[in-house]
Structure 1
Amino acid sequence: MSLQIKSSQEAYDVIIVGSGAGGGMASKILSEAGFSVAVVEAGGDFDPAKEEDRTQLRNPWESPRRGAGTRLRPFGDFDAAIGGWDIEGEPYTTTSGTKFDWFRSRMVGGRTNHWGRISLRFGPHDFKRKDIDGLGDNWPIGYNDLKPYYDKVDQLIGVFGSKEGIFNEPDGFFLPPPKPRLHELFIKKGADKVNIPVIPSRLSILTRPISNDRGVCFFCRQCNRGCQAYADFSSGTCLVKPAMKKGKVDLFTYAMVRKVTTNERGLATGVSYISKVDMKEYKLRSRVVVLGASACESARIMLNSKSKTHPNGLGNGSGVVGRYLHDSTGADRMAILPDLFDREKYNEDGVGGMHVYTPWWLDNKKLDFARGYHIEYWGGMGMPGYGFGFGMDTVRQYIKDEFGNPSPNGGYGKGLKKDIRRYFGTLVGMSGRGECIPRYENYCEIDTNTVDKYGIPVLKFNYSWSDQEILQAKHMQETFEEILTNSGAILLGQKAGPESQYGLHAPGRIIHEVGTTRMGKDPGTSVLNSHCQAHECNNLFVVDGGPFVSQADKNPTWTILALAWRTSDHIISEIKKKNI
């Protein structure tokens, strides 16, 4: 039985697929320039200020699972993320012997509803890594090309931080950062002893008012739940919804894009999508198509958009679409601070993330791996969550094993209460997030034998870590141990060794995947030009993490936003010149 395809009579200037960081920024800039815009989102609407969506300031007992995660909300029942690594009816596959876990967010705002709000600029070195270590490729643009857009993003969205003058950690326009919490002061003390820098974090959370439409952080430490005051950055609340109020923006939700449609000349004419509501196929027409569905989803759409002009997929004459996939590395360590036993209890929630962090501080020429990492710190006395770290079971099990001092009541009654009063808030930990070397051998492709519930061919992943990432993780573990022990902490568990690749998380688990539609000067080795415009289809643009040539040791969101703004300006210019 064939689907009945329904076409819209209205043609838009621009169709944007995806409403996350890149798609949201493009919707704001292009609509405010006077263009008619359709935003096509695979998930539903979401507004953390509406009662039906609000999870902020809810207690664990308000959930039948006491806040524990579900298939659709893997980070917890109250987390803002709706989606996950395993979505019913939306499978993906992997090549035998390899591993990749693909996280999808199905909601307006995408993954920007759940993230650490870590908002770091790439530095001058990050765009030219091949010149430094000979690995991978340089970007066709440099820091100075993107700096004006980083500046604009800082001022539009807001980011707190401090001016440090570190060359490859560029300073921006910062709001005042919050003070370190008690556990962070202990960590800083340990790091200072071994000359490892610990500086104020750079998070997109408002500590001062910047607009009448958004409130200021009230320090509930629940940014991951979505802020009802709009004090933290999420694309839906800060970009898409404001764009809908100011410009001509139509939002299509529960719309699973199957492909970009093209004409006989190979130019994009719009998109075809399956409605999750009625399972029928619909077509939208436009002058320009912008993909911001996430690096792998945008690659999937392009690979599925085959035609006579694009037999290998839209813009894939080079065969590079889906190639050079890479995610941040990640490893962790946890400890307990005896100096905090029986500590005074008071509200130190702070923002929903770290107040301090460690930027990359070493010269890789003196190390046995090529790229760096930053360190994120966590701990303190946030609201306990069932099954998510900081649990009394972790502390008490450790106390029992190491000190021979188990709770007299085995975890119930007065003994449990006594343990909570003494030990809660003493756990600390750190996570390394580092740069992976982009390789042609790491990729996603169409699995011709598998379709999702909408009849769309799914992705198949082929990914493995190289020695560069494994040696980096080894260095992370050594650094964690050094900082924690110098902080007076007692380490929990055994240090991860080579048998576990030094605790490296599986590829995809850090949810920073980039590089599948990378930019470059040579159409034979890249998909897009320096303006994120397809070499082979000049009215197709990509504004998510796909255009990245390399990841850097920073989180990608701020660079996605800056690139999307720069790309949007280019689209405006090209339309005015009648080049597209």
Structure 2
Amino acid sequence: MLDFQIKEQSTEYDVVIIGSGAGGGMAAYELTKAGAKVCVLEAGQYYDPADPKYITQLKAPWESPRRGASSTRAFGDFDAAYGGWDIDGEPYTTTKGTQFHWFRSRMLGGRTNHWGRISLRFGPDDFKRKSIDGLGDDWPIGYDDIKPYYDYVDKLIGVFGTNEGMHNNPDGYFLPPPKQRLHELMLQRSNKKLGIPTIPSRLSILTKPVNKERGQCFYCSQCSRACQAYADFSSSSVLMIPAMKTGNCHLITYAMAREVLTDPTTGLATGVSYVDTQTMTEKVVKGKVVILAASAGETARLLLNSKSARFPNGLANSSGIVGRYINDSTGASRAGIIPALFDRKRYNEDGVGGMHVYTPWWLDNKKLDFPRGYHIEYGGGMGMPAYGFGWGIEGINEKYPTREGIKKAAGGYGASLKEDYRRFYGAYIHMAGRGEPVPDYNNYCEIDPNVVDKYGIPVLRFNYNWSDYEIKQAKHMQDTFEQIIHEIGGVPLGGKPDAKSNYGLAEPGKIIHEVGTARMGNDPKTSVLNSNCQAHDVKNLFVADAAPFVSQGDKNATWTILALSARTSNYIIEQKKKGSL
């Protein structure tokens, strides 16, 4: 049970930030650099990918102490993912007949330690979707408002890629991309015949150094384990640790935020009440400005749990919009095997930890039966094989004779199994679509009135359903995947997903790109924040994660979270100088 003797720290910080991921890390970096005294609350543990205590890079699967047993982490024992969709004692619920999977991170740097580093800018059209297709709402800002901050993030953090001159996939300041591997060269050639653009990826991995504190990628292909050379972007290594080195950042780990505290007279935020999860005591940290950056879901939870006589429906929620319009990227995938790559020559083909090429959205939705687009991520090559035979290629040998001209089912055991492993290794490709949903008022998260977590904090309840728009988009993905596999001379693996499975559309939340629970807007009646991510109702309360997003875009959200956080941080600094905060 909690110790309800609340312990209040005497120090009042200039800024209290909840969360240390992309948004929280950027805010801490910018504000401490400007001289502000900042306190960061992190619900999980400390983490530094360069500390030998945490390093898992360059270890083989069989080196796991849990070899052959279930993993203790969501993406495997060696992945830099402390947390998951299901955390003991920290439940969440869904309304009847709906689905949502909520990934929570519990470590310094949050999800940025193990993400795919796909670092895409939103384009001009992504901020004005209602003006284009009449659905949802336009953002109160446009691309030109955020472009300087995208430029800043490119230069500060580092991202490789190429300038392509595509209107809604804006160019940036890119490091040289890694060379394409064999399967990627084949995809580029065959996709060109189909009119499907396939260009160098844009990943925040350093192919050249950007400063003395960070190294260069050495192509171990294990970025999901977080880089001990700091050669990829993780908020822990690139933003939080430098912020702490300024002497202006006080980090409190194992600090589960309960609510934002406010002055009953002025309504201004005065600090944060949190639970020390190690001692199970409740504590208070005071601040002149409070920034929420603990993820779109957690930000909604905090606002809705921060009730008072002045804010009976939750903090900054006079509009009733907090928790509404939550949306996650759509996702569908398909795999194939390329007979032309059977029995291929062995050589080091690791590359960066992810794709070297991708396909940005290339079609006009006005000519299609769904309103928003998607991009395609590609995988394959001669990476580290996983446990088990897998790959779904049983029966392939029956169509394609071995070197000895024998037709046989794949697999088996002993020498036959080893022979097939060698034969098929490097011939596998897979592709995944990541698309934009249409935000819906009826997709929301709220406080479950009947459930609390082990810290006594009321939990979130989700209500989420895909619409026909997203299902039709997934069908288009599957049709495109089959077209690509056939054009490259490959064989699709497994049956093609059909309407019964929503064409393989991933369940909501599974892509871990949720945004939009505290959307920005010009009208306080229909939005939570203004265009500077400042609460309409509470002028010293800001949000720096994906909660302010008005729409998702067909791009991953991280680069926009970083750019918005930098923009908001600069606004806070300017307002402080003016005496307005």
TM tier relative to shorter chain = over 0.9
Residue-by-residue CA offset, 1:85-105 (whole Å, 9 max, x unaligned): 000000000000000000011
Residue-by-residue CA offset, 1:186-242 (whole Å, 9 max, x unaligned): 222221121100000000000001100000000000000110000000000000000
1:201 aligns with 2:204: no
Shift of 1:73: 1.1
Matches within 5 A, 1:27-176: 27-66=28-67, 70=71, 72-176=72-176
Residue-by-residue CA offset, 1:267-301 (whole Å, 9 max, x unaligned): 10000000110000000000000000000001100
SS of alignment partner, residue 394 of structure 1:
coil
Shift of 1:65: 3.7
Give the equivalent residue in structure 2 for 1:406.
409
Unaligned runs of 5+ in 2: 401-406
Give the fraction of aligned pairs with identical amino acids, expressed as a percent.
65
Give the equivalent residue in structure 2 for 1:477.
478
Shift of 1:266: 1.3
**Distance 1:156-1:97 versus aligned 2 partners, 3 A rule:** same
Cα distance in 2, alignment partners of residues 454 and 510 from structure 1: 27
SS of alignment partner, residue 420 of structure 1:
helix
SS of alignment partner, residue 155 of structure 1:
helix
- Contact kept in structure 2, 1:41 and 1:256, CA below 8 Å: yes
In structure 2, give the amino acid aligned to 1:180.
Answer: Q
- Contact kept in structure 2, 1:189 and 1:486, CA below 8 Å: no
SS of alignment partner, residue 390 of structure 2:
helix
| Matched residues, number | 573
Shift of 1:392: 2.9
Matches within 5 A, 1:406-425: 406=409, 411-425=412-426
Cα distance in 1, alignment partners of residues 430 and 152 from structure 2: 34
SS of alignment partner, residue 539 of structure 2:
strand
Cα distance in 2, alignment partners of residues 449 and 275 from structure 1: 23
Cα distance in 1, alignment partners of residues 470 and 68 from structure 2: 34
Give the equivalent residue in structure 2 for 1:340.
341
In structure 1, give the amino acid aligned to 2:120.
Answer: L
- Contact kept in structure 1, 2:73 and 2:81, CA below 8 Å: yes
1:397 aligns with 2:400: no
Cα distance in 2, alignment partners of residues 343 and 269 from structure 1: 64
- Moved segments of 4+, more than 6 Å: none
Cα distance in 2, alignment partners of residues 49 and 157 from structure 1: 17
Cα distance in 1, alignment partners of residues 390 and 129 from structure 2: 44
- Contact kept in structure 1, 2:313 and 2:320, CA below 8 Å: yes
Shift of 1:67: 8.0
Residue-by-residue CA offset, 1:444-464 (whole Å, 9 max, x unaligned): 000010000000000000000
Shift of 1:396: 4.8
In structure 1, give the amino acid aligned to 2:133.
Answer: D
Give the equivalent residue in structure 1 for 2:404.
none
Shift of 1:402: 5.7
Give the equivalent residue in structure 2 for 1:180.
180
- Contact kept in structure 2, 1:396 and 1:419, CA below 8 Å: no
- Contact kept in structure 1, 2:392 and 2:493, CA below 8 Å: no
Give the equivalent residue in structure 2 for 1:298.
299
Matches within 5 A, 1:545-564: 545-564=546-565
SS of alignment partner, residue 345 of structure 2:
coil
Give the equivalent residue in structure 1 for 2:451.
450
Shift of 1:66: 3.5
Shift of 1:260: 0.3
Unaligned runs of 5+ in 1: none
- Contact kept in structure 2, 1:68 and 1:77, CA below 8 Å: no
Matches within 5 A, 1:172-571: 172-264=172-264, 265-386=266-387, 392-399=389-396, 405-406=408-409, 411-571=412-572
Give the equivalent residue in structure 1 for 2:403.
none
- Contact kept in structure 2, 1:66 and 1:385, CA below 8 Å: no
SS of alignment partner, residue 4 of structure 1:
strand
Residue-by-residue CA offset, 1:99-152 (whole Å, 9 max, x unaligned): 000001110000001111000000000000000000000000000000000000
- Contact kept in structure 2, 1:80 and 1:114, CA below 8 Å: yes
In structure 1, give the amino acid aligned to 2:361.
Answer: W
Residue-by-residue CA offset, 1:346-402 (whole Å, 9 max, x unaligned): 00100001000000000000000000000000011111233xxxx533255243676
Residue-by-residue CA offset, 1:4-60 (whole Å, 9 max, x unaligned): 110001110000000000000000000111100001000001111111111111111
Cα distance in 2, alignment partners of residues 324 and 255 from structure 1: 28
In structure 2, give the amino acid aligned to 1:245.
Answer: K
**Distance 1:442-1:33 versus aligned 2 partners, 3 A rule:** same
- Contact kept in structure 2, 1:190 and 1:484, CA below 8 Å: no
Cα distance in 1, alignment partners of residues 460 and 395 from structure 2: 42
